[in-house]
Copies of this chain bind each other. A is one copy, B any other.
Amino acid sequence: MTDSTLPTTGAPATPAPMRVVGLPLAHHDFVDKVKGTQLYAADWKLPGMLYGRVVRSVVPSARIRSVDTAEARALPGVIAVLTAADVPSNRIIERASGGLGELAVEMPVLAGDRVRFTGEPVALVAAVSQQIADEAAELVEVDYEELPGVFDPESALATDAPRVHDEGNVLVEWNIRRGDAEQALAEADLVVTGEYRSQHAEHAYLEPEAGVAWLDNGVLTIRVSTQVIEHAATISGILELPANKVRVISSYMGGGFGGKEDMTVEPYLALLVWHTKRPVRMIWDRQESMLASTKRHPFVMRYRTGVRSDGTIVAQDVDIVGDAGAYPYLSARVLFAGAALSCGPYRTPNASLRSRAVFTNNVPTSAFRGFGAMQVVLGYESQMDRVAAALGLPPAEVRRRNFLAKGDTIPTGESLDTAVASEETLRRALDRLGDPPAPSGPTKRVGRGFACNMQPYGRTIWFRDRASAWLSLQADGTLLIRSGITDLGAGQAASLCQIASEVLGVPLEEISVYIGDTALTPPAGGTYATRQLYMSGNAVLHAARQLRERLAPVAAAMLGCPADELSFTDGLVRGGPAGTGLRLAELVAGCERREVDTSVLAVWRAEQGAFDPVRGQGDSFPDYTYGTHATDVEVDIETGEVTVLRYVASHDVGRCINPMRVAGQIQGGAMQGLGYALMEDVVFEEGNAASTLFAHYFIPTAMDMPDVEVEIVESGEGKGPLNARGIGEPPIANTAAAVANAITAALGRRPTQLPMTPERVLELCPD
Which A residues fall within an 8 A CB radius of B? 28-29, 31-32, 35, 37-39, 43-48, 214-219, 233, 236, 242-245, 247, 252, 277-278, 464, 468, 470, 474-476, 478-480, 482, 509-512, 514, 517, 519-522, 592, 595, 597, 599, 601, 603, 605
Contact = CB atoms under 8 A, between A and B. Distances in A.
B512 A464 contact: no
The 4 closest A-B CB pairs, nearest first, are: A244-B478, A520-B520, A45-B45, A244-B512
A31 B233 CA distance: 24
Contacts of A252: 217
Given A476-B243, A511-B244, A601-B470, A520 B482 contact: yes
A738 to B, nearest CB: 36
A244 B599 CA distance: 14
Contact of A46 (B29, B35, B43): B43
Given A217-B32, A482-B519, A510-B242, A43 B47 contact: yes
A319 to B, nearest CB: 37
A472 to B, nearest CB: 8
B520 A476 contact: no
A221 to B, nearest CB: 10
A112 to B, nearest CB: 26
A325 to B, nearest CB: 29
Nearest to A513: B217
Nearest to A479: B244
A464 to B, nearest CB: 7
A39 B32 contact: no
A217 B28 CA distance: 6
Contact of A512 (B219, B233, B592): B219
Given A47-B39, A520-B520, A218 B476 contact: no
Given A45-B46, A243-B474, 17 more contacts: A31-B218, A35-B277, A37-B48, A38-B217, A39-B216, A44-B44, A242-B476, A242-B509, A242-B510, A243-B478, A244-B478, A244-B479, A245-B478, A245-B512, A480-B519, A514-B520, A520-B520
Nearest to A593: B464
Given A39-B46, A512-B519, A520-B514, A592 B464 contact: yes
A482 B518 CA distance: 12
Contacts of A47: 39, 43
Nearest to A511: B244
Contacts of A218: 28-29, 31-32
A756 to B, nearest CB: 40
A638 to B, nearest CB: 50
Contacts of A595: 605
Given A45-B44, A519-B512, A520-B517, A599 B468 contact: yes
A520 B522 contact: no
13 contacts: A28-B217, A28-B218, A29-B217, A32-B218, A35-B277, A37-B215, A44-B44, A233-B475, A242-B509, A244-B474, A244-B478, A599-B603, A601-B601
A482 B601 CA distance: 13
Contacts of A605: 595
Contacts of A512: 219, 244-245, 247, 519
A468 B601 CA distance: 13
A51 to B, nearest CB: 15
A592 B470 CA distance: 19
Contacts of A43: 46-47
A245 B509 CA distance: 9
A475 B601 contact: no
Contacts of A247: 512
Contact of A242 (B216, B478, B514, B599): B478
Nearest to A233: B475
B603 A597 contact: yes
Contacts of A479: 244
Nearest to A507: B242
A340 to B, nearest CB: 26
A182 to B, nearest CB: 41
Contacts of A592: 464
Contacts of A482: 519-520
Contact of A37 (B28, B243, B277, B474): B277
Contacts of A278: 37
A259 B245 CA distance: 32
Contacts of A48: 37
A479 B480 CA distance: 24
A45 to B, nearest CB: 4
A485 to B, nearest CB: 14
A656 B173 CA distance: 62
A516 B244 CA distance: 18
